[in-house]
Amino acid sequence: MVDRLSGIHEFVATVETGGFAAAATKLHLSRSAVGKSISRLEERLGVRLFHRTTRVVKLTQDGSVFYEHCQNALATLKSGESALQTGRTEPTGKVRISVPAIFGRYCVAPVLYEVAAKYPALMLEIGFTDRPVDVVREGYDLAIRNGNVANEAGLATRTLARQRMVVCGSPAYFEKRGRPAALADLQAHEAIYYANPARIRTWLFRDGQGDVTEVAMNGRIRLDDIEAMADAAAAGMGLAWLPCWLVKPRVASGELVTVLENLTAIEFNSSALWPQAPSMPLRVRVLIDALAERLPGMVG
């Protein structure tokens, strides 16, 4: 009897990742295993699914038609799986999750581990990256993102918590340069920037009427890791604009001091995103519910 699903996952992964090697990484297989699986699929179907060159793997016309049908079939299977999960009292199966690197380690992962410890049949595969992944295309069941989340086709969203931002520096820095008492004072200070072109380059504050003011800072230290920014601030390299949850332990120890606390803090959303479906799998729902319950207290 022919296994009609044999090679389908390898084929879809190759299309969505753009190549055999990337598909192999995604599926935890060897590149040769992916290639052989697709070759067997082509032989069974009697068509060529990909144009192959040394640099590019591109769908043929037959491959494009077959891919569309595969997407529909896999979506139907996933919907059926979700329906089965709905009737269960305990979550089972694997959940692929994408979380921001530092925020994921400090705030999200501990909650996920608690849920996994509670449900032994639940499997978690967590990717830590600040890159905004394509949830559907890359095969994630759940993604956590910070900041404003635009409406994306095929995705559902839920706000989990709000992160408050603070300005901080080391006691030695303030002894040398003085403490800013108003927004205008910031221009006389060095800033430590988050070196990510997709992120806000100005610092944001609210006045007494709730209006947002943007402050363009001067700085020569640019880092692509917010924990490294906290390290630099603690080393006296300048002021940093960072989330409260990250600096709270350093403030408690006296390593960092917050300033401009008389201003209303800017807050950013932390949100969950997942592929839209008629019903949500229980294994995804319990994770989102746990994060919605625990994150506000962790990031406040």
186 with 207, same domain: the answer is yes
Do residue 58 and residue 122 come from a single domain?
A: no
Assess whether 58 and 196 both reside in one domain: no
- At residue 2, the pLDDT reads 53
Instruction: Please tell me the number of Cα atoms within 13 Å of 41 on its side-chain side.
Output: 24
pLDDT of residue 86: 55
Q: Are residues 273 and 151 in the same domain?
A: yes
For residue 70, what pLDDT band results from cuts at 50, 70 and 90? confident
Q: Which residues pair with 59 in a beta bridge?
A: 50
In a domain, 280, yes or no: yes
For residue 81, pLDDT over 70 is answered with no
- Residue 144: per-residue pLDDT: 96
β 239-243/155-169 pair status: antiparallel
Is residue 20 a part of any domain in this protein? yes
**Is 113 inside a domain boundary?**
yes
Q: Which of 24-33, 181-190, 212-221, 263-272 is modeled with the greatest confidence?
A: 181-190
Q: Report the C-alpha gap between 142 and 158 in whole angstroms.
A: 11
Residue pair 204/216 in contact (Cβ under 8 Å)? The answer is: no
**3 domain-assigned:** no
Under the banding of pLDDT at 50, 70 and 90, the label for residue 202 is confident
List strand residue ranges (DSSP E) for 170-254, in order: 190-194, 203-206, 212-215, 218-223, 239-243
- From 80, 108, 130, give the residue that closes a domain: 80
State which residues form the domain around 125.
Answer: 86-162+268-299
CATH number of the domain where residue 69 is located: 1.10.10.10
Question: Does 147 map to a domain?
Answer: yes
Residues 144, 272: one domain?
yes
**Domain CATH for 228:** 3.40.190.10
Rounded Cα distance, 298 and 300, in Å: 6
Q: Which pLDDT does position 230 carry in this prediction?
A: 96
How many other CB atoms are there within 10 angstroms of residue 278's CB atom? Answer: 9
pLDDT of residue 33: 87
One domain, residues 70 and 92: no
Q: Check residue 286 and give its pLDDT.
A: 96
Reported as a single tens digit per residue, the pLDDT across 269-290 is: 999 999 887 778 999 999 999 9
pLDDT at 1: 44
pLDDT score for 139: 86
What is the number of domains present in the chain? Answer: 3
Over residues 235-262, mean pLDDT: 93
pLDDT value at position 215?
84
Q: 276 and 233, same structural domain?
A: no
Would you state the pLDDT for residue 73? Answer: 77
Does 29 share its domain with 63?
Answer: yes
- Domain stop point among 54, 80, 106: 80
Would you say 144 and 21 are in contact if contact means Cβ atoms under 8 Å apart?
A: no
CA atoms within 13 A on the CB side of 96: 12
Q: Give the lowest-confidence range in 61-75, 154-168, 247-261.
A: 61-75
Residues 61 and 192 both lie in one domain: no
% of the chain beyond a pLDDT of 70: 91
Q: C-alpha dihedral over 70, 76, 81, 86, to 10 degrees?
A: 150
Is 117 part of a structural domain of the chain?
Answer: yes
Residues forming a β-bridge with 239:
191
Q: Tell me which of 80, 104, 126 is where a domain ends.
A: 80
Residues 128 and 275 in one domain: yes
